[in-house]
Structure 1
Amino acid sequence: MTTVTPTDQQAPFAEQNPYAAPGAETRGFSISSLVLGLVSIVASYTFVVPAIGLVLGILALKREPASRTMAIWGIVLNAVMLGGAVLVGLAAAAFGLAMLPFAFIG
């Protein structure tokens, strides 16, 4: 029976990227959250874009400690825009219900 012992040598096909900075971390979630927060300002009053950005920002806080500032700004922008969209939706529903009795006059 043969046993395989781990070695400290790296296989030749598993070379690291020579262009990558040493110790570089990915910042994909926090950048995506910030971009979706900015996009939700332009594409205002949607529910989907800020909700996705909010989830990505919360995930970025846990997974990417180096980009905490971008994640916090993404969370703030997405939460404000999601809250605004909810308030506008509720105001539109209340206005529609208030005008419902007048729809049958005429």
Structure 2
Amino acid sequence: MTTTAPTSTAPTVDYGPSAVRAEPRGLGIASLVLGIVSILTGGGAVVGPIAGLALGIVSLSREPGNRTMAIWGIVLNAVVLGIAALAALGTIAVALFALPFAIL
């Protein structure tokens, strides 16, 4: 006894190329936006640049197609954090210099 596979008489429909899923770019964009906002606001708050730096570093590993924005976000946030650190050290130095005169 021989069995044969049933043949389909239904027409096949070609829907064209499948939709390519867009790569997520949210982390790199968020890092870049936080870096730009931090520079424009003078970097008064340190939380924004720290968050932007972390988002940029995470974006490098999770979003390889968004490397440029992530790197720019890291650079901008690092610059703001560096300026904030220098300002804090300068403030401490001036306060320590003025301390002997505050006792008088």
Q: What TM-score comes out, normalization by structure 1 length?
A: 0.76
- State the Cα distance separating 1:25 from its structure 2 match: 1.0
Q: Secondary structure at the match of 1:22?
A: coil
Q: CA deviation at 1:77?
A: 0.2
Determine whether 1:37 maps to 2:39.
no
Q: After the TM superposition, which of the residue ranges 42-51 and 91-100 deviates more from structure 2? A: 42-51
Q: Determine the C-alpha separation between the residues in 2 that align with 1:93 and 1:42.
A: 25
Displacement of 1:48 after TM fit? 1.1
Q: Runs of 5+ in structure 1 lacking a partner?
A: 1-20
What is the Cα-based RMSD across aligned positions, in Å?
A: 1.1
- Does 2:24 correspond to 1:26? yes
Equivalence for 1:49: 48
State the alpha-carbon separation in 1 of the partners of residues 99 and 42 from structure 2: 27
Task: Give the superposition deviation at 1:44.
Answer: 1.8
Give 4+ residue runs of structure 1 displaced > 4 Å after superposition: none
Counterpart CA distance in 2 for 1:68 and 1:33 is 11
TM-score, reference length from structure 2: 0.77
Q: Distance in 1 between matches of 2:40 and 2:99?
A: 31
Larger CA Rg, structure 1 vs 2: 2
Gaps of 5+ in 2: 1-18
Structure 1 residues 55-70: aligned runs within 5 Å: 55-70=54-69
Corresponding position of 1:88: 87
SS at match of 1:67: helix
